[in-house]
Structure 1
């Protein structure tokens, strides 16, 4: 079976080629920024005289659906600057006016997949590797992030900038004000500089993506070697650039057991952060009594795999510059066989094993990024709470860039707690041989000083990416002694082989082309062996002969998965004990989704078939209703119904219900609610959060949490109410 799958993958890759992957132009398109001494009012109307003086950019080229063709919807862009700011003005023509606009909600860092979007990519280092992206939708919602090699992203980085928009019967305007202090760029000492820049627009109703400087469809917008040039940009000479962000917080916590109050306390806290840009390349952060009351709550998951669940980081302090410290293999990026090997995972700091917060007394982070190299260090002192002692956590990272798209890096982490010190040391690299072939690797060792135990972990991955096909082959290993106290691995003592290929056909033979955009069949294989013995522990081969993508973003898929599970140690799954033994079974999966940008959208995934020694039917169904962009309502049902499963041959159902709502007065004032009911652990969870951004990156938060669990005849309830005020001042 393994040889057959390997041969099939190779045949698909050979039959599809990357001829549509064009090289970046040698003579790039360019625009000269226009200096203005006149005031620019950021109101989303572009009526000031200064805008009339700037050169107009247009002639955007399609990326989707028809690469290389002229966009069907005109976009006009102007670039201004003064001593304090860079200004971008855009008009996105749409003769349907407001009827053509698609904006599902007004949450910051909105999804590109569902929104009309205008985005700006800026490569201030002109190294064709680093970029800042700043984006908005027609209602003026902000989205920003940092990108490195179009591979690693700081998705929750929040820069200090401003945008306002307006919608007319002929389209929509966006007006950006970006302070020089927010941007990152080389200090050349010249009177003017040259930066990389690109502009991209998505018209969601027709699902068209177009760019000023086009790039291949197989790549993301942040593949910055395809950027054009911004000429004659003259940023103000860097001066003192310090942000202080203090907060005050009041918290009430109450716990009850069987209706009787067990604890009740009020807490008052002050703390904050200081961010100091030592220069345009180097940034230092200090944090004191770090608080994450405003962070989004984790969504519960009923795990039906043998893997540990990976919960993403949601806390702002750790999300900034996360890409620099983000070496490793992530299960959600594809090609890893659902295996995560992450040497530094920031959720290991400030949260206990149950995800409950621990106090962070103080921390420091220093990050330097330039064309040739990047490095960063971070140290955090963590209070151990009532269950453990305090700990000291350190991470260091160095990356050396060479060639056009190659790099080598080292990473080290240290956790000191009680009598033990856990240390990780690792070497990683990424090499782009050409536009379609790339190789990445990480090799790490771990040591515990308490028992002098040494461990090893790492991976090697090859990727082939074109418009027609995405293919990969990944080899991973984690020995039984590898222990990253500040990292994350989804399983241990494993040697894994994970090949896969996804085709992307858009030819003339595709039927119903008015409705269908692409046919994307795929084959993915995963083999897991016990590293210590070489014994096969798990095999899964998934074949998706039908994977259809609609023009509006909807989809239909069918997948068959063939699994072999060799269990050497009994474990618990869905509260059932899976006994030692060998299990072979086949499962089937149907998926369907409608246009995710519509006022009403739905997605359903149904998986059924044998499962270990029993049978499991799993439903994942979601419904989203957005009557207007200011109101977002969503409901999700995850149902796992099984029979004759485990040693008890039990027949039960584990359901997880999720209701979510967001109401916006505007992009800066919102009220959100989350409710989850889980029948597997008989729990109810509520999270209600009011957020008001009364000044840029200055907030008022009101948060209420309630978590109730029913165990046998006992009821446990914890409630928390928080009021938090933060203030950001830039000097």
Structure 2
């Protein structure tokens, strides 16, 4: 196993490159105010006349070698309770504003918007982001891994926007109790980002190379406080809910019971940087439903977590390992099984050490014999060098009253499953090098659950070159019942390389070739499957893009597999299949009222057959109140006997109506011909107070022939956020 050692040496050596913070010279002063600031988007208080401005922004896209053409100015202040921000964004008169909708946590690339990135610990790895689009829709999320953003996090704060012919102004008030920071620290990392789609210009207060997102904390400036931010004092929030649900089911063996339910969450600040979350009898009926996809793979698909309780500091629990080697995946808890209660402690113990501790208790399910189970997770993350860290994770799943189960139930459900992992995450100070090296060990009642998983990677990004090399290994007996590991018993090597030409053109921003290869082997290094992809991509000034890829793929089946995934005949284990094909993709410019993305796949398929796949995502907006979207996916499989020709559609249609930035109604229809299912989700939301909502949600799922039946429900849910 020399490869992991070489990877590890490369990761550690590259850590020492460029040790100083890139934009340390960019500073903005923030001073305390005694004036009452009204959040109205006008900024007419005396405080704003004397606050130091952050202006003279740098262009990031389409080119990063000049100043922005659209002027921007940001000012900040604070008092004993809140952090205030006033930002003014000038534009060329006559240019129209581009806004998709008033929906919270909008799509960054489809809106004229402003984003604030805060790094309260000044560690260039974690933080918070707040923002607004030009018509007042809010954006908030947590930041991790040096610039990744999780928009599922929701906090309590207020903002207002005023729109004029030549500018738009946003004003914010963020309570100190809504964020986490280290007591007594008077320097925070900070940056401001603006996207102006009328000129296709993305800009930043500090200079950032075009290959990096403006959220990259490695390029943040410094927020200098005249005094350290105030002590939060006693900080707690109570978030109770009450709901009523009615419904019915005509599907055989599926029942639906009307219910009245009460529960809620408690948030308690153990310190200004460490938080305790408690949940009792939680309910997630208002959470967005998963988008269905056509599955022609041999493995389980991944769907993201959307439940609020699991989201703050979620990276402490969810980012360990790789996307396909996760020791912890929170969706394994409580989907289809009632959660009785849960507790979680997360945050920073000090500037360099982060802690995540979670315990969840689920109820038993008499119908299936599933016992009551306890899920416990410990995660530690210690910062080392400039922006890297070392992580430790322990995951324990325990079945309670296990000895009371029958022998048949003991065969189906394990008594316990545990995972222990250690990893090193590299992030160089200039963000050009990133990487990871990790080892996982699983423990179970017998040797069939006692295995290992391991991986290493290194990535390099510059203005024109980017490359990545990765290696991973999962033993046959590695088991992660609370994780996401869709494949076992393999060694994998993969990598990519790309180059961008940056022409002096008024239409094309960049173009260039790219290569990706992924190669799987069994533990004896015998090839089992691979794919090699060679492509070319063109990025246009209007933010549209075009790419063409050709691929060469080989699969040796390790288990029987139906190539249509529709419960037809299966190909035998050990059979070998080889094919070629091509992908063509086009993404339209986002500032158009009508937007679309087209992806087509043409080529051979299993058993000498052919597969034709066409995907389209269409959108139209009546700015800013109505956004319509449709997803179309068509697959045609032309195979020999006994499959012959199989084709199926996946159709999704969504209407998103935002009456105001506090009143929303969305409806999603989905028809999946592959799984014979038609579903409808319609959700009305009224944010009648900050972070407090009234939901009315209708869900319907209809099974089509030959398994016919329907289940529907209507839920009314009220939540309120009390805090001090």
Contact 2:132 2:138 in 1 (8 A): yes
The answer (yes or no) to whether the contact 1:327–1:428 under 8 Å persists in 2 is: no
Report the counterpart of residue 606 of structure 2 in structure 1.
612
Aligned pair 1:217/2:210, yes or no? yes
1:366 to 341, 345, 348: 345
Superposition map of 1:314-333 within 5 A: 314-331=306-323
Residue 349 of structure 1 corresponds to which residue in structure 2? 333
Give the CA deviation at 1:585.
0.7
* SS of aligned partner of 2:47: helix
Q: Secondary structure at the match of 2:453?
A: strand
Deviations 1:634-674 (A, max 9, x none): 111101001115x6132011110100110011111100000
Is 1:696 the counterpart of 2:686? The answer is: no
Divergent runs of 4+, >4 A: 21-27, 261-264
Distance 1:543 1:358, change over 3 A: same
1:163-178 matches, within 5 Å, as 163-178=159-174
- Quickly say closer, same or farther: Cα 1:470–1:329, change in 2 above 3 A: farther
TM-score, structure 1 normalization:
0.90
Q: Is the partner of 1:103 in helix, strand or coil?
A: coil
1:15-42 deviations in Å (ceiling 9; x for gaps): xxxxxx9975575121211322221111
In the TM superposition, what are the counterparts of 1:646-725 in structure 2 within 5 Å? Answer: 648-712=642-706, 714-725=707-718
- Structure 2: segments with no counterpart, 5+ residues: 1-17, 403-413
Q: Distance in 2 between matches of 1:620 and 1:297?
A: 21
Q: 1:194 aligns with which of 168, 178, 187?
A: 187
Cα gap change, 1:137 to 1:565, in 2 (>3 Å): same
Q: Secondary structure at the match of 1:317?
A: helix
SS in 1 for 2:54: coil
Provide the rounded CA distance (Å) in 2 between the counterparts of 1:122 and 1:681: 44
1:142-181 superposed matches below 5 A: 142-150=138-146, 152-181=148-177
**What displacement does 1:330 show?**
4.3
- Whether 1:82 and 2:75 are equivalent positions in the alignment is no
1:223, CA displacement in angstroms?
Answer: 2.6
Deviation of the 1:53 alpha carbon: 2.5
2:630: which partner in 1? 635
The answer to whether 1:566 aligns with 2:556 is: yes
CA distance in 2, matches of 1:263, 1:437: 53
2:23 touches 2:206 (CA, 8 Å); kept in 1? no
How far did 1:528 drift? Answer: 0.8
Q: Is the 8 A contact 1:709 1:716 kept in 2?
A: yes
**Is residue 563–residue 585 contact of structure 1 (8 Å, CA) maintained in 2?**
yes
Specify whether residues 452 and 588 from structure 1 end up closer, same or farther in structure 2 by C-alpha distance, changes over 3 A only.
Answer: closer
Residue 539 of structure 1, aligned match among 499, 505, 530: 530
Indicate if the aligned counterparts of 1:327 and 1:343 stay in contact, CA closer than 8 A. Answer: no
Q: 1:375 to 1:726 in 2, by over 3 A?
A: same
Listed one character per residue, the Cα deviations across residues 581-627 of structure 1 (whole Å, up to 9, x for unaligned) are 11111011111121123210111111011001111100101210002
Indicate how the Cα distance of structure 1 residues 134 and 35 shifts in structure 2: closer, same or farther if over 3 A, else same: same
Q: Partner residue of 2:357?
A: 377
Deviation of 1:159 after TM superposition, in Å, equals: 2.0
CA-CA distance at 1:506 after TM superposition: 1.0
Q: Indicate the residue corresponding to 1:593 in structure 2.
A: 587
Aligned residue number for residue 389 of structure 1: 371
- Equivalent pairs counted in the alignment come to 684
Check conservation: 1:194, 1:233, Cα contact below 8 A.
no
Shift of 1:240: 0.6
Are the counterparts in 1 of residues 157 and 174 from structure 2 also a CA contact under 8 Å? yes
In the TM superposition, what is the alpha-carbon distance from 1:262 to its structure 2 partner? Answer: 7.6
Tell me if 1:266 matches 2:245: no
C-alpha separation between the residues in 2 aligned to 1:718 and 1:209? 46
> Contact 1:286–1:363 (CA<8 Å) still a contact in 2?
yes
CA distance in 2, matches of 1:564, 1:698: 52
Query: Which secondary structure state, in structure 2, belongs to the residue aligned with residue 177 of structure 1?
Result: strand
What residue in structure 1 maps to residue 299 of structure 2?
307
The answer to whether the 8 Å contact 1:88/1:177 transfers is yes
The alpha-carbon distance between structure 1 residues 504 and 156, as it changes in their structure 2 partners (threshold 3 A), is: same
Task: Output the CA distance in 2 between the equivalents of 1:373 and 1:53.
Answer: 37
Q: Partner of 2:439 in structure 1?
A: 443
- Rate the CA distance shift 1:151–1:705 in 2: closer, same or farther, 3 A: same
| Partner SS state of residue 341, structure 1 | coil
Q: Secondary structure at the match of 1:472?
A: strand
The alpha-carbon deviation at position 233 of structure 1 amounts to: 4.4
Superposition map of 1:29-178 within 5 A? 29-96=26-93, 99-150=95-146, 152-178=148-174
Q: CA deviation at 1:177?
A: 0.4
Q: 1:367–1:233: structure 2 CA closer, same or farther, 3 Å change rule? A: farther
Displacement after TM superposition at 1:432 (Å):
3.6
1:328, distance to aligned residue in structure 2 (A): 3.3
Distance 1:486 1:621, change over 3 A: same
Q: Look up the match of 2:7.
A: none
1:551 aligns with 2:541: yes
Return the structure number with greater strand share. 1
TM-score (norm. length: structure 2)? 0.91
Deviation, 1:451, is: 5.7
Q: Where does residue 9 of structure 1 map in the other structure?
A: none
Give yes or no for contact 1:470–1:501 (8 Å, CA) kept in 2.
Answer: yes
2:381 aligned counterpart, secondary structure: strand
Query: Could you tell me how far apart the structure 2 residues matched to 1:272 and 1:257 are?
Result: 31
Q: Is the Cα contact below 8 Å between 2:126 and 2:147 reproduced in 1?
A: no
